Amino acid sequence: MLKVKKYYQIQTKSKCRKENMVEGECYRISVLTSGLVRLEYSEQGIFEDSPTQSIWNRDLGLCEYQVVDSENQLEIITDRIHLYYDKQRFSRNGLFIHVKGSAVPFGNVWHYGDTEYSFGEGNFKGTARTLDGANGEVPLEDGLNAITGYAVLDDSKSLLIREDGWVETRKNPEEDLYFWGYGMDYLTCIQDFYRLCGATPMVPRYAFGNWWSRYHKYTEKSYRGLMERFKRENIPFSVAVIDMDWHLVEVDARYGSGWTGYTWNRELFPDPDAFLKWLHEQGLHVTLNVHPAEGVRAYEEGYKEMARAMQMDDDSIDKELPIPFDIADEKFVEAYFTCLHHPQEKAGVDFWWIDWQQGSLSKVEGLDPLWMLNHYHFLDNGRDGKRPMTFSRYAGPGSHRYPVGFSGDTIISWKSLDFQPYFTATASNIGYGMWSHDIGGHISGSRNDELSGRWVQFGVFSPIMRLHSSDNQFNSKEPWHYRPEIRMVMEKFLRFRHRMIPYLYTMNYRQYAEGIPMVLPMYYWYPKEQEAYKVPNQYAFGSEMMVAAVTSPCIKTLYMAKTTVWIPQGEWYDIFTGLRYHGGRKMNLYRDITSIPVLAKTGAIIPFQDDYMENANENPKQLHLYVYTGADGSFTLYEDDNITNAYQEGICVRTSYEWHEEEGCLYISSAKGEKSLIPENREYAVTFCGIREAKATCKVSSAGGRIETEIKKEDDVTVLLKNVPLDQDIVLELRERVYRDNDIVNRCYQILDRAEIEYDQKERAFNMIKAEQDKTCLLGKLLVLELESDLYHALAEIIIA
């Protein structure tokens, strides 16, 4: 047996505590948490304690439960569930579980073998392997949350992971089920899933910048020229994705196709090492596309080294026999990385785009090649202590451990865009929180500049922002290929993405440390609100923002798109328009092409950085805080070295911000942790959303010192602070605060000005808006004018916001 690399060995706690087990001759029930039980049945009475492809940790701590045991009946009772079992082979009549606290008063009893849910839509769904060829909605696999409050994960066919890190089939077949009964406690369910299956690792900071990707036969010269053009246009990117034409694709027919390749095409890239070095000097990190299915052919530069590693004889090598792809062979996997990937990584490839499209079968029953590629690529990428990352399709529960996810080649259409917000958020129900989509769509479809602009806006408020397109000469995503107004929008939002990196990176840590995915369906925040289940394209984006993607075209007479948004109780600001909303209702929000609804609740604090940083992997010297006034709030900024696994040892820096509404004070704490990771001083700009006038004083904790302030007044007050020492506590006080109201007249004027209706009708409507102070009366008067319905509702949004 080949000795497997030490870095393939994973840290697990796969054996459940004895105290949490209830066992019989042929069954074993492990109470992992109050809502999670493992159900095993084996005719041989042999049960499995090894980690599997999905399950790594079964010791989740001591769990309180009650057992009622009689000769023919076993009951297990926790705070969340009540299990009944007849101690026989699992059957529908003999094994059932009642779930407490589900969203429905009935239908919350699971019977073994249930495949249909007895109430409504049942399971909230999880995700899918790929969106390849999708033109809109595709079927999704089940997730772990449901309207009934329960779900089942069947791990019976999952392979085992040996102590040395390699996989093997189960020697003793058993039924191996995990029952999840968390009722409406959706977040705790997913957090316990992470505890059971492993946390989502942090990805490097640069991953949250913009990725440039296109299936196109670039040359070194043309690729350099494109990156230089982006820099001149002040359009930031952090990841250079180079699709398959980096390698030889036009090969002699006797070798087969050129779909798989590991040898640079030196006609296009004469000096790959210099090219990769240049990309790094531009602050870009590099991933290369690889389709590994066709193995290694004799024309590859690494063929002979790979052949010898596979112990092929000289005759076979001289005959140029191909080396078949065999991910189930330990020897092949070892040579695959050592001979084909490590040399490229030494030259400057940061991670690999694993483009596996050949299904889930291998020569070992139950062994999915995609899972193997994801698992071992991720471990191998981190072999030298750097923070690993892969870029590949979803391969089943547990795939969250191998970020980032590649969702595949979608059709360019409004239907595809409309499905992706729901698809991204719903994946959280199986813990998969790091999807990367082909923003703008990949193939087919037709040109639609508005669609491209809206897709970019959604991409910016996605876990990963990656532009992509096919090799069609008319299909590319450079902003300057679009109409001027769309170009402006795309550039604005691409810059905005990089400004958001401090916030996104903090959410990256939150996902790892607290088990909270970056994108969540609204019912996670508001499980008891029926409206939360009816807005599939609305989602929480981190801790501070709520996004409603615009996925339909503008109304032609208004040049605005309509999006139905449920606004929860409280007061909310749109971070782009500045409009303030009263919550507790569902509204149609209207937006022109320059923005989408992104709401922050009063008390939210969101950290941004400079518009443009040369290297997205550096911690910023300047921060811009947006404080949404009207309620107390806090936010803790997380920073680390951005590239290694030291975060797992707690080597990081945290800076806390607290807004006290009544005092009018923003408290900036001294940085806590390894301060060498951040600058000694920072410049701050602090925008107090909702305050139009104020006077500011900034005090330093040491010796009563002060920091000079400068106030900029636009719609909201912004206070500028220079040379703020990060090892000191700071208090920024706003005095004589004047809060602003929504500017109803001016906002309504802008809507009417664009509307394509009769001028006299515009005039009458606008005069009413200027004259009438009573909002209810105003709405009635406008209704009498018989305005086009969407125009009336667009005005009503402003008036009653």
Q: How far apart are CA 491 and CA 233, in angstroms?
A: 9
Spatial CA neighbour of 335 closest among 262, 393, 438: 262
pLDDT tens string 602-657: 999 999 997 666 788 999 999 999 999 999 999 999 999 999 999 999 999 999 99
| Mean local confidence (pLDDT), 575-601 | 97
Looking at beta carbons, which pairs linking 490-493 to residues 24 or more positions away fall under 8 Å? 490/452, 490/453, 490/456, 491/233, 491/234, 491/235, 492/594, 493/456, 493/457, 493/460
Q: Tokens 């913009």 belong to which residue? A: 210
The proportion of the chain whose per-residue pLDDT surpasses 90, expressed as a percent, equals 92
The proportion of the chain whose per-residue pLDDT surpasses 70, expressed as a percent, equals 98
pLDDT tens string 118-161: 444 589 999 999 999 999 999 999 999 999 899 999 999 999 99
Q: How far apart are CA 360 and CA 367, in angstroms?
A: 7
pLDDT tens string 256-315: 999 999 999 999 999 999 999 999 999 999 999 999 999 999 999 999 999 999 999 999
* Bridge-based pairing state of the strands 210-212 and 239-242: parallel
Look over the chain and give the mean of its residue pLDDT values, rounded to a whole number.
Answer: 95
Cβ neighbours of residue 314 closer than 8 Å, sequence gap 6 or more: none
pLDDT tens string 511-565: 999 999 999 999 999 999 999 999 999 999 999 999 999 999 999 999 999 999 9
pLDDT at site 363: 87
Asked if residues 186 and 386 have their Cβ atoms less than 8 Å apart, the reply is no
Q: How far apart are CA 479 and CA 223, in angstroms?
A: 16
| Mean local confidence (pLDDT), 177-202 | 97
Residue type, 239: V
Q: How far apart are CA 67 and CA 551, in angstroms?
A: 52
pLDDT tens string 569-584: 999 999 999 999 999 9
| Mean local confidence (pLDDT), 791-798 | 96
pLDDT tens string 462-483: 999 999 999 999 999 999 999 9
Tokens of 429: 């129900």
Q: What Rg value do the Cα atoms of the chain yield, rounded?
A: 28
Cβ neighbours of residue 559 closer than 8 Å, sequence gap 6 or more: 592, 593, 754
pLDDT at site 287: 98
pLDDT tens string 8-21: 999 999 999 999 99
Q: How far apart are CA 141 and CA 360, in angstroms?
A: 15
- Grouping H, G, I as helix, E, B as strand and the rest as coil, residue 340 is helix
On the question of pLDDT at 703 being above 70, the answer is: no
Q: How far apart are CA 727 and CA 669, in angstroms?
A: 8
Question: Which spans in 292-349 are helix H?
Answer: 303-309, 314-318, 330-335, 342-347
Return the half-sphere exposure (C-beta side, CA atoms, 13 A cut-off) of residue 801. 25
Strands, E assignment, 149-254 = 150-154, 160-161, 167-168, 175-181, 210-212, 239-242
pLDDT at site 712: 84
pLDDT at site 708: 84
Quick one: pLDDT band at residue 107, thresholds 50, 70, 90?
A: low
pLDDT at site 120: 41
Global pTM reads 0.97
Cβ neighbours of residue 471 closer than 8 Å, sequence gap 6 or more: 214, 215, 216, 217
